[in-house]
Chains A and B, each alone.
Chain A
């Protein structure tokens, strides 16, 4: 009797263990690539990104793959926190035997995985994290970053903001590294261009917990001519509603980082704040052949319009293919060598991974928000190439450890 129970317990343990230990069948010819992102924690941002790389993966494999081998992507949920992400990265590297990893959105997850990549000597393409410490102060030889970081976004906004007559500026940003570094970069860059600017107020609501009414009032109280906004997601929606109701934006300019990206602004629909200067992604109006082809393929396959994350996912997958193709091998050192200075064609144009800091030169769009047919749209936009806004390679190299 007792033994039967022990036996049952042992069977149950074995089931759990086999789930953990069970090794997937190893496809001999496909090149195995690891991928992870916060699919359960931040689905609104990561699902369009996944669509993007899946589209690219199909295109690549249909065209014969790389080195006459198909690419197989093993995709995992990183759980949205750095500790779990390390377990997942280890799963990909030690169990699945991937030759390269890409993905991540949250900066702390990206940083944790980049450090893991360095320790385990596996190339890692940090697709979406915005924190510039990934490329600079915490940079390492195994980590490449695709998306333009906080600094580039702030630099493009500061350039536009400097043209405004506004002298008194207030800032509002979520209280964590991304918000802090965006505000710091914007302040430095704008003050450099416009020494007469005065910083009259700042608000630091906790991420996704903004007390919008009180924050709006407090900002208005500092009587700014213009506001620099970093809040996003639900914070942005709450801030915009309260700000409009309470007249915070009347007669004031607002520069808002990333607020032109569809995943950040589309939830506001016709309530999007008109006239804001934003960085973003006007997918509806970009008419380059490369983008048109991408947009058509994406829309056809997913019956949805692309978000910026889709472009990033798509470009990540092509980066992987180009890197392995150029390396001509799946050997780590060969891939690292190929990645330095690697050029990749993306829907936004050709980008290069800089040799000094392994940061890609992907840029972003800056323009003004408006509402057309009930949806937020960017107008008067232009594309800023990352290479024109990044610090020079020599300066960047100095910031790396």
Chain B
């Protein structure tokens, strides 16, 4: 019995640090609707800065805690800089566009941290005075854990008091509920948002700094925490700090006890929990139905077929692509094939995001279904390349049908997070089912059929199927089905009122997008010759989002252009320099500031006309 009590307390200590980081993200999202991808980077910076400060202050209780607080404040200031210089320019951009900018920040911070603190893990000191363990019911419980267990609720109460018992907090809540009215009453929202960002960043920095006695500062901290923090925020209910606390405790305790029964479950547990919670309670444990932000949600204009002058440019690009093998080498052809594949992938994501209005954070799952579908058929049933490429979109459509059926019952960020949860569950199944999928060692030897093994032939296969996929998606957009889907995006209530079955159309949209992504996945498998779980991992989903948003979400060509720019830059830079992340990050930040509607959106706005 005593063992379970100690295990429970251990879970509570983990919950406290998770809560600190999550509460910061939750507050920022609740007020500004910014999905701050850089929150994990702030967490990491908190740990690194604390390491340096605690070292500089030279030990002692004051030095240690001074370093922790100093690090949290320093991260808060970094957050302010990011908000003022970057996010302020993006508040009027399409939903989620800020995600791309903060993704750029993530890349920059990675290289900056590497150049300042070096590649080695930095193990900080233990907390002076709290470096031992106390005997508790015959077990030893670290004193620092006890401190964290107390600190968590204290921070929770402090945030609550700040938001509910101060004038600043009242203003923040007013701005959250009705930004326009708050603005009309003379509240300077700009600095209010900056203040909120400062608070959120301080909490992330504090969470990172407090990890110092438990974990060495290292360069993987940012990506390791970010997904889990999103999960906690969503399970708790976006913007609700009590929910975040509850969710952090729930996740941590399930983790602490789950490993006693299923030690292998840690890989997927948080996502399983999130999927279950969202299916049962669509707005999280303590969340309320989303209040639409009137100002932020500019309804997209309908898509129109492309104008003639753009059609000419498109034809010119096609002509170049068609004759590419006559002058480009094998490597260039492979890169071009990859660009085409990701263009199709991004376009399929845009189909549910831009046309259907459903954001997917887990779109890599469908790329993965296609890739693994093809690879498994080749491996286990001896399929040839041709049959496998036909089967890939079918397999992926089936997967999308299952996931989509649950997802369309939700909306907004909750829908997005459920797609993420499903993608992670699919990923962990692929990752762990060694006998069938090869686990993380993947499936090797998925090369094109002998007749297509020359790079230029496979390039034409990719070009043909890729363009075919893109064309099919375009046809769907301009078909009655596409118009109906857009009606559900722009006003679900009105669409419902004129007799459109909203959920059914959204579900079908999911399936179409899944099939297109699956085709991309099949092509990807044969291009690379092998398939690994990384193909359906979070970074690929994020890449897809960045491509779509960078190109412009309200356009059909946007994702294609975004995919070409992003993939081309990434491959080009990674081939030339080991500092590709900071350059890519800077380019992304510069382009979101320069083109707050995406690249194609910008071109369209400047030329005045020319939809799609």
Residues of chain A touching chain B, judged by Cβ–Cβ distance below 8 Å, are: 2, 5-6, 9, 16-17, 19-21, 23, 39-40, 43-44, 47, 76-77, 79, 81-84, 86-88, 90-91, 94-95, 107-108, 111-112, 114-116, 118-119, 131, 133, 138, 175-177, 180, 202-206, 208-209, 211-215, 217-218, 221, 233-234, 237-238, 241-242, 245-247, 266-269, 271
A241 with B139: CB separation less than 8 A: no
A16 with B439: CB separation less than 8 A: no
Query: Hey, which chain A residues are within 8 Å of B580, CB to CB?
Result: 40, 77
Per the bound structure, the CA–CA distance linking A192 and B568 in Å amounts to 53
Interface-central residue, B14, B139, B572, B576, by most chain A CB under 10 Å: B572
Q: Does B220 contact A (CB under 8 A)?
A: yes
Given contacts A40-B578, A115-B529, A217-B139, contact A94 B569 (CB under 8 A): no
A43 with B528: CB separation less than 8 A: no
Nearest chain-A residue to B267 (Cβ)? A206
Per the bound structure, the CA–CA distance linking A213 and B114 in Å amounts to 28
Query: Hey, which chain A residues are within 8 Å of B3, CB to CB?
Result: 217, 221
Per the bound structure, the CA–CA distance linking A196 and B260 in Å amounts to 25
Q: Does B60 contact A (CB under 8 A)?
A: no
Q: Does B83 contact A (CB under 8 A)?
A: no
A209 with B139: CB separation less than 8 A: no
Given contacts A112-B442, A176-B431, contact A43 B114 (CB under 8 A): yes
Per the bound structure, the CA–CA distance linking A86 and B445 in Å amounts to 13
Which B412-462 residues have C-beta < 8 A from chain A?
431-432, 434, 439-442, 444-445, 447, 455
Nearest chain-A residue to B227 (Cβ)? A209
Given contacts A82-B528, A176-B431, A218-B259, contact A90 B120 (CB under 8 A): no
A82 with B530: CB separation less than 8 A: yes
Which B283-328 residues have C-beta < 8 A from chain A?
309, 313, 328
A204 with B455: CB separation less than 8 A: no
Given contacts A209-B266, A213-B13, contact A20 B313 (CB under 8 A): no
Residues of chain B touching chain A, judged by Cβ–Cβ distance below 8 Å, are: 3, 6-7, 10-11, 13-14, 110, 114, 119-123, 126, 132-133, 139-142, 145, 213-216, 218-220, 224, 252, 255-256, 259-260, 263-264, 266-267, 309, 313, 328-332, 334-335, 338, 431-432, 434, 439-442, 444-445, 447, 455, 524, 527-530, 532, 534-535, 539, 564-565, 568-569, 571-576, 578, 580-581, 603, 606-607
A175 with B14: CB separation less than 8 A: no
Apart from A6-B313, A111-B530, what are 15 other A-B pairs with CB-CB below 8 Å? A16-B569, A19-B576, A20-B568, A39-B578, A94-B329, A94-B331, A94-B334, A115-B529, A119-B447, A208-B224, A213-B145, A213-B256, A234-B216, A238-B215, A245-B133
Nearest chain-B residue to A19 (Cβ)? B572
Per the bound structure, the CA–CA distance linking A61 and B505 in Å amounts to 66
Query: Hey, which chain A residues are within 8 Å of B530, CB to CB?
Result: 82, 86, 111-112, 115-116
Partner of A90, one of B13, B216, B334, B441: B334
Q: List 18 A-B contacts (CB under 8 A).
A: A83-B535, A91-B575, A108-B534, A111-B441, A115-B530, A176-B440, A180-B434, A203-B263, A206-B266, A213-B10, A213-B256, A215-B259, A217-B7, A234-B121, A234-B218, A237-B123, A247-B140, A267-B121
Main SS at interface, chain B: helix
Query: Hey, which chain A residues are within 8 Å of B14, CB to CB?
Result: 211, 213-214
Query: Hey, which chain B residues are within 8 Å of A44, CB to CB?
Result: 119-121
B256 with A214: CB separation less than 8 A: yes
Within the complex, the shortest CB–CB distance from A168 to chain B, in Å, comes to: 17
Query: Hey, which chain A residues are within 8 Å of B142, CB to CB?
Result: 213, 242, 245-246
Given contacts A21-B332, A111-B444, contact A214 B133 (CB under 8 A): no
Query: Hey, which chain A residues are within 8 Å of B123, CB to CB?
Result: 237, 267-269, 271
Within the complex, the shortest CB–CB distance from A18 to chain B, in Å, comes to: 9
Main SS at interface, chain A: helix
* Shortest 9 CB-CB contacts between residues of A and residues of B: A43-B119, A94-B330, A19-B572, A95-B331, A214-B256, A94-B331, A213-B10, A267-B121, A115-B444
Query: Hey, which chain A residues are within 8 Å of B334, CB to CB?
Result: 87, 90, 94
Per the bound structure, the CA–CA distance linking A77 and B529 in Å amounts to 20
Within the complex, the shortest CB–CB distance from A4 to chain B, in Å, comes to: 12
Per the bound structure, the CA–CA distance linking A238 and B141 in Å amounts to 15
Query: Hey, which chain B residues are within 8 Å of A242, CB to CB?
Result: 142, 214
Partner of A88, one of B139, B564, B574: B574
